[in-house]
Amino acid sequence: MKKTTLSILTLALCGAAWAQKLDRSIKPKPAAAPEIKLGKTESFTLPNGLKVFVVENHKLPVISCSIQLDIRPELEGDMAGYRDMMSELLLSGTKTRSKDKLNEEIDRMGARIDANSEGLSGSGLKKYQDKIFELMADVAMNVNIPQDELDAEKKKALSALETQKNDGDAMVNNVSAVVNFGTNHPYGEIPNESTISKITLERCNRYYQTYFRPNVAYMAIVGDVTMAEIKPVVEKYFGSWAKQDVPVSNYTIPEVATTKLTKVAFAPRTGAVQSVVSVTYPVDLKPGSPDAIKARVANTILGGGSQGRLFLDLREKHAWTYGAYSSLNEDKLMGTFDATVKCRNIVSDSSVEALLDEMNSMQTVAVPDTSLQNSITYLSGGFAIGLEDPKRVAQYAINTERYNLPKDYYQNYLKNLAAVTPTDVMEVSKKYIRTDHANIVVAGSKEEVADKLARFSKDGKVDFYDNFGKPVTPSSTTAAPAGVTADGIYKKYIAAIGGEKAINAIKDIKVVMTSEIQGTPLEIMEMKKAPNMYKQSISISMSGQSMVVQKQVFDGTKGYMEAQGQKKAIEGDDLDDVKETADIAADLHTEKYGQKRTLKGMEKVNGKDAYVVEVVDKKGKKSTEYYDPATSLVVKKVSGEGDKMEITTYDDYKAVPGTNGFKMAYKVVQEAQGQTFNATVKTIEVNKNIPATEFK
């Protein structure tokens, strides 16, 4: 025991002596970058030109295979959007298997096969490797796209476009693509209703037959395999894949990449309470270029995370946003820089100014050693974690071949990363982080934000775009004709839908409408019974069966909402709202609900003039109604704000059978919570004596 105590005491004394010699004012030097061992990667090339890379990983009895096409396809042009559909169309059946048969064989193995316009992939248990390769080869060589599958994909695409019409992120992405690259570049082609509708089966088949060729393909195989066993399998299933000359398209160089002109592009967003902002432009930064690693470090310092200058300035210092970030992306054609933030309307211009200031500071303010080392450590850790994924290792092998990288590029990655200096960061920032030829793209409130951004534009102007990136002349509120009042507009509206007599004659009404969401049919049923009973149910149809997925019921006093088996009482503001909704003659009872209407002027709705009337209820809630001067009918309503905003448009008004001329819109489109519902009236029944038990 005494001997042990003496040893501990000796160590303590030695430690004290060491501490006396240690100068803590001198920061320790970073350790040398560790040597990278990527593991064993082997490769071979089939006679048809297919380049194959094999990475052994025997930890689990699984295998994965991916095929990547190195192509520069023709522009989509007036059929923009068809390449996005290829992920589904390529798995819609082959010459030897129907879609159902293909899915059945994949499911039986518990495997997975995916596809897109530039390749396909498959994975599963090793014991099924031959079958996985057989199915992948069938897709690579024998796709047979049925017309009905294309029609279904077009329908889904059109539905998806509806959901993006007032989505800030989608609007900024679309406008950024157009202003950065132009519409004559593959990165600047934006699908819209017109291009989706024009897509033909012949165009899809021509793309597949032209570009899915082995001589422009790389195959990566990762898993519990060896070169000796997998090579015969690849030869067996892919050896007959016919090679063919594949055309290479030339694309225009984005104008913004060669000019020094900062512009502001604005996409007006209805009811926006915040702006989505992006400072963006194309950069000529290729994968594996001498600047690539240095540029990653610079971007990490600027906006790569919560320690980036953008985050620390806009969030931590000013509290203008939940986060501000940047990206500097390499690409074989043309990379991009983006600095992004979401912020309140009132600080939108201040946020843009802060983004630009921090970008400029990268060129003038040397990065401190601590910040530099933190960024290098962060990137090093991400690279090291990636090496644990054999698929990443296989991708590195393909990248080395595809981009003509030095054979030791990835082996030396950490060494080159650790060698980046503050001078390197400043030099690449001067080259790639620029504010003198940027596009400042914003989606937000035109009235509250747009004019404030003009000062950032070189020409002092703000260019306006719609949600698809098409230049537009923004609608503006103009004065209504003399003598027109909100009360007068509303009285004409009551007369236009049939008048008080027709409205009061309705004692109960049942409306059934049809719609769909992501291709799934919906049926919306709504019933009202005087004086104030209400019921709504939403049903979906799948495999020929109908199922109620959401229900709302109000018996005149109390009510409940039910969805996914959960039932909740309607209370508070929701109860007040449903009481008004249940009132068949609510349009006649404006005083009861404390509604006050104010005429704001006139705006364009779908290209036609409309009166703009602001409505404020007794609780101060605001909404906006738009009336057609020619018909006096409501054509649009906007209520709520931010995530709770609803935009509803009305069309195809008809007199309801069984009434004395009462009119309703038979087509209704509602945008809410990122979803868009196009509903069409199927049936309307009036005064059929709906029993009160329906509202229990």
Q: What is the pLDDT of residues 643-672, one digit of tens each?
A: 788 999 999 999 999 999 999 999 999 988
Report the distance separating Cα 560 and Cα 570, nearest Å.
5
* pLDDT tier, 544 (very low <50, low <70, confident <90, very high otherwise): confident
> Mean pLDDT over residues 44-58, rounded?
95
Per-residue pLDDT at 6 exceeds 50? no
What are 572-615's pLDDT values in tens digits?
Answer: 999 999 999 999 999 999 999 999 999 999 999 988 999 999 99
More confident residue, 28 or 47: 47
What's the pLDDT at 35? 60
Q: Which residues pair with 102 in a beta bridge?
A: none
pLDDT of residue 13: 31
Residues 399 and 271 sit within 8 Å (Cβ to Cβ): no
State the SS3 of 126-162.
Answer: HHHHHHHHHHHHHHHHHECCCHHHHHHHHHHHHHHHH
* 338-364 pLDDT, tens digit each: 999 999 999 999 999 999 999 999 999
Q: What is the CATH number of domain 41-238?
A: 3.30.830.10
CA of 326: how far to CAs of 79, 245, 262, 532, 603, in Å? 32, 40, 18, 53, 37
Among 21-25, 383-387, 538-542, the least confident range: 21-25
Count the Cβ atoms, other than its own, within 10 Å of residue 431.
16
- Confidence label for 9 from pLDDT (cuts 50, 70 and 90): very low
- Partnered with residue 442 across adjacent β-strands are 266, 277
Say which range, 10-24, 58-72, 93-107, 199-213, has the weakest mean pLDDT. 10-24
Q: What is the pLDDT of residue 38?
A: 64
Instruction: Answer yes or no: is pLDDT of 5 > 50.
Output: no
504: exposed, middle or buried (Cβ count in 10 Å: 0-12, 13-18, 19+) = middle
Contact 145, 92 (CB under 8 A): yes
Mean pLDDT computed over 85-91: 97
pLDDT bin (cut points 50, 70, 90) of residue 475 is confident
Q: Name the CATH topology of 486-695.
A: outer membrane lipoprotein receptor (LolB), chain A (2.50.20)
Domains 41-238 and 255-464 share a fold: yes
550-573 confidence digits (pLDDT tens): 999 999 999 999 998 899 999 999
Which tens digits make up the pLDDT trace of 171-180?
A: 999 999 999 9
Domain ranges, ordered by start, for the chain:
41-238, 255-464, 486-695
Per CATH, is 255-464 categorized as 3.30.830.10? yes
Lowest mean pLDDT among 38-47, 443-452, 656-665: 38-47
CA–CA separation, 217 and 70 (whole Å) = 6
Q: Alpha-carbon distance 693 to 696, whole Å?
A: 5
Chain mean pLDDT for the chain: 91
Question: What percentage of the chain carries pLDDT values higher than 90?
Answer: 80
pLDDT digits (tens, 9 = 90+) for 514-524: 998 777 889 99
What integer is the mean pLDDT of 91-118? 96
pLDDT at res. 3: 37
Q: Using only the alpha carbons of the chain, give its radius of gyration.
A: 32
Q: What is the pLDDT of residue 474?
A: 82
For the cut 50, the answer to whether the pLDDT of residue 20 exceeds it is no
In the predicted model, what is the mean pLDDT of residues 6-19? 34
pLDDT digits (tens, 9 = 90+) for 159-198: 889 888 889 999 999 999 999 999 999 999 999 999 999 9
- Please indicate whether residue 517 or residue 385 has the higher confidence score (pLDDT): 385
Mean local confidence (pLDDT), 463-469: 95
Residues 6+ apart with CB under 8 A from 306: 323
pLDDT at position 195: 97
User: 695 or 33: which carries more pLDDT confidence?
Assistant: 695
Whether pLDDT at 12 is above 80:
no
